[in-house]
């Protein structure tokens, strides 16, 4: 609510920031597993470590399932396989630290293709 001089009170500004953060979070959570898989596979395939790390940190729930999927034009290789083949050490390390179950499943899947 505006104060004496038409300015927003600090509490109102904080509430608006909290609401904006909540909306931003809701938008992030709506990313599909397919779009995350495509972005992650492309980043790993194209030697873009920073982009891959951003995806791994930004969409953790989708990454779990995305680790087993290959993006279009990725030659049917998973993000883990691309990161390993392209020697993206930081990306592989982050995958191992944050998503050990997904890494295990992806590695097992790659062995039987």
pLDDT in tens, 75-92: 678 899 999 999 999 999
What local confidence, expressed as pLDDT, does residue 11 receive?
Answer: 58
Q: Is the pLDDT of residue 50 over 50?
A: yes
How much is the average pLDDT of 17-23?
A: 67
- The residue with tokens 């050490």 is 89
What local confidence, expressed as pLDDT, does residue 84 receive?
Answer: 93
Return the structure tokens found at 71.
Answer: 């993006």
Distances (CA, A) of 5 to 9, 15, 16: 10, 19, 19
102, 64 contact by CB (below 8 A): yes
């Amino acid at each position: 609510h505006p104060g004496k001089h038409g300015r927003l009170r600090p509490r109102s500004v904080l509430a608006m920031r909290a609401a904006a953060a909540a909306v931003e979070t809701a938008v992030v959570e709506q990313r599909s597993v397919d779009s995350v898989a495509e972005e992650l596979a492309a980043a790993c395939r194209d030697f873009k470590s920073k982009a891959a790390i951003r995806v791994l940190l930004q969409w953790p729930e989708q990454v779990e399932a995305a680790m087993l999927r290959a993006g279009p034009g990725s030659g049917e290789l998973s993000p883990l396989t691309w990161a390993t083949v392209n020697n993206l050490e930081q990306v592989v390390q982050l995958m191992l630290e944050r998503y050990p179950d997904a890494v295990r499943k992806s590695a097992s899947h790659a062995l039987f293709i």
